[in-house]
Amino acid sequence: MDSITPEKNSGTVYLVGGGPGDPELLTLKGKKALEKAQVVLYDHLSSLDLLDLVPESAEFIDVGKERGHPKLGQREIEELMVDRANKGLTVVRLKGGDPLVFGRGGEEGQALEKAGIPYVIVPGVTSAIAVPAYAGVPVSHRDTNSRISILTGHSNPDRMTKEEISSLAIPMQTVIVMMGVEHIQKLAAKMIAAGKDKKTPVMIVRWGTTAAQTSWDTTLGEIALQTLVPPVRPPAVVVIGESAGKDVRLSWTRHLPLSQKTILITREREQASFLKNSLTALGAEVLVCPTISIEHPDDWTETDNAIKEMDQWKWIMFLSPNGVRGFLTRFLFLNGDLRNLHRQKIFSLGPQTTKSLSDRGIIPDLVSEDSHGEGVIKSMKKVILEGEKILMVRGDRGDRSIPEGLVSAGGDVSVISCYTNRLPRLLPHVEERISSRILEGTIDAIVFYSPSSVSNLLSLFPQLASSIRSIPASAIGPTTQKALEAEHFSRINVSRDTTVKAMVQTIQESLNQKRHHP
């Protein structure tokens, strides 16, 4: 069972535990299954970030499974898995936590066996252990307990036997109640009646391991008397026992400056990965919303003519990684050899563009001192001579400020568009994830890379434009800052350059600004 390669000519179902909420707690085996999925069935406890691992060509089925408001019943879910697998498709049933810990994975496995469908169980990190850990609660400690009991809070304590309740009241024990809100008051009262000290520490954690995590310290007696205000709503994990006490409490998340902060990056996932990884390492939850769809231009004529007359250009200027990819792809298609660029000097705007060039074996002759239009002009003015012919590679939406600035410095500038910026078509789960977080007011900062990303985000969510404008914005360069000001964003911080270090600092400044402007 180590391999997750399905049998030939047979669809396989993967029952994947997606973990408790933090997408980085997904197992490697779960990641591999998602990356090859042709159909994925997910519910509200699955981290929607995990769906970004699934190929866009896959079928995404939201089965709901929110208690009291299911979109599909359990039998319907099982029938869907069997139906898609019988069509020879690779199916992933993505579940929160572990599929076999109160996740009905056992029932689903039985249904698949009955239908003769091959399946693989991919265990996940269970919420019973991970959620308390993220709240600083060690579910086992030599000074507090020698046993752990895990139960589901969906079960009515009135239906539990006296012996079952008594077993939960045993000393030196940690009791973990998953999905534990609905009947917790009754359970607390019965445990006290069975001899459990009413002063026994209790911690309740809602949306554990996510940026929305909230926790409450209380006691068994307070819960029995319903003195916890405000009432806790699901999803929540309840930890009962001395291990939930402050004497053994851990505070490891305090060392993460962006813990419980949510940052939205308005960029394609691949290009956002460097910044996302740095923010995640500091404790942030990072959402990625592509606001620009990069496509080939409808007409390559200008680019082809520029390439055919390559010897006339003294400088080739690349202003973005997309320009590098678009131009060099076309150049290789027509010429087939990058050594034919040896006569031209290469200019690069910013570290990401420079990396895109170096990945292709091209070391730029000049890199802009600052990663914005004014920095480009300033850098080029120092090196260009009167009348030198300059080829500027960019997208279809660039303004005229850079070429006009270079012309005023004596350059003979031609601009070609090697890619087009289009409004992307978001997958339903991406649109749902971003819109719900905007509505909830749980996004702490938004990173904008270009004027197009500003206008496009507002176009993608027109009904939420007012809420978006109220979120602290981190702008890359003065041109993006002007676009944000024109759209009346209320709080703007500008990164001095496009390095990840500078952007992280700008985001932290945005969050500090938010704290001082409630």
Which CATH number is 366's domain given?
3.40.50.10090
The last residue of one of the domains, among 400, 422, 444, is 422
End-to-end C-alpha distance for the chain, whole angstroms: 53
For the ranges 68-77, 302-311, 363-372, 471-480, the one whose mean pLDDT is highest: 302-311
Domain-embedded: residue 4: no
Please tell me the predicted confidence (pLDDT) of residue 511: 81
Task: Clarify whether residues 376 and 411 are in a common domain.
Answer: yes
Asked if 167 and 195 touch (Cβ cutoff 8 Å), the reply is: no
Please tell me the predicted confidence (pLDDT) of residue 75: 93
Percent of the chain with pLDDT over 90: 65
Q: What is the mean pLDDT of residues 24-49?
A: 92
Residue 164 has pLDDT above 80, yes or no: yes
Residue 514 has pLDDT above 90, yes or no: no
Domain-embedded: residue 7: no
C-alpha closest to that of 390 among 341, 309, 317: 317
Domain-embedded: residue 302: yes
**Counted domains in the chain:** 4
Residue-wise pLDDT for 120-130, tens only, equals: 999 999 999 99
What is the domain-level CATH number for residue 83? 3.40.1010.10
Triad 332, 329, 420: Cα angle to 5°: 145
Please tell me the predicted confidence (pLDDT) of residue 468: 97
Task: Clarify whether residues 239 and 158 are in a common domain.
Answer: yes
> When comparing pLDDT for 369 and 505, which is higher?
505
Task: Clarify whether residues 364 and 473 are in a common domain.
Answer: no
Task: Clarify whether residues 417 and 314 are in a common domain.
Answer: yes
pLDDT band at 449 (very low <50, low <70, confident <90, very high): confident
Residue-wise pLDDT for 456-506, tens only, equals: 999 999 999 999 999 999 998 788 899 999 999 989 998 877 788 888 988
Please tell me the predicted confidence (pLDDT) of residue 66: 53
Please tell me the predicted confidence (pLDDT) of residue 227: 67
- Boundaries of domain holding 348: 295-422
Task: Clarify whether residues 171 and 190 are in a common domain.
Answer: yes
Asked if 149 and 178 touch (Cβ cutoff 8 Å), the reply is: no
Domain-embedded: residue 118: yes
Q: Before 230, cis peptide (omega within 30)?
A: yes
pLDDT band at 371 (very low <50, low <70, confident <90, very high): low
Domain-embedded: residue 270: yes
For the ranges 28-32, 282-286, 448-452, the one whose mean pLDDT is highest: 28-32
Domain-embedded: residue 225: yes
Residue-wise pLDDT for 79-96, tens only, equals: 999 999 999 999 999 999
What is the domain-level CATH number for residue 152? 3.30.950.10
Cα 84 to Cα 10, 157, 421, distances in angstroms: 11, 39, 36
The last residue of one of the domains, among 90, 125, 160, is 125
Tell me the catalytic residues.
43, 65, 179
Please tell me the predicted confidence (pLDDT) of residue 7: 47
Task: Clarify whether residues 277 and 319 are in a common domain.
Answer: no
Task: Clarify whether residues 439 and 413 are in a common domain.
Answer: no
Task: Clarify whether residues 235 and 197 are in a common domain.
Answer: yes
Residue 273 is inside which H or E element, if any? helix 269-281
Domain-embedded: residue 208: yes
pLDDT band at 70 (very low <50, low <70, confident <90, very high): low
Domain-embedded: residue 3: no
Residue 68 has pLDDT above 50, yes or no: no
Please tell me the predicted confidence (pLDDT) of residue 67: 46
* Residues with Cβ within 8 Å of residue 219, at least 6 apart in sequence: 198, 199, 200, 201, 202
The last residue of one of the domains, among 422, 439, 473, is 422
Task: Clarify whether residues 90 and 121 are in a common domain.
Answer: yes
Task: Clarify whether residues 330 and 418 are in a common domain.
Answer: yes
> When comparing pLDDT for 180 and 157, which is higher?
157
Beta bridge partners of 406: none
Residue 5 has pLDDT above 60, yes or no: no
Residue-wise pLDDT for 39-63, tens only, equals: 999 987 778 889 999 999 999 999 9
Please tell me the predicted confidence (pLDDT) of residue 229: 56
Task: Clarify whether residues 411 and 361 are in a common domain.
Answer: yes
Average pLDDT, the chain: 89
Residue 230 has pLDDT above 90, yes or no: no
Task: Clarify whether residues 109 and 158 are in a common domain.
Answer: no
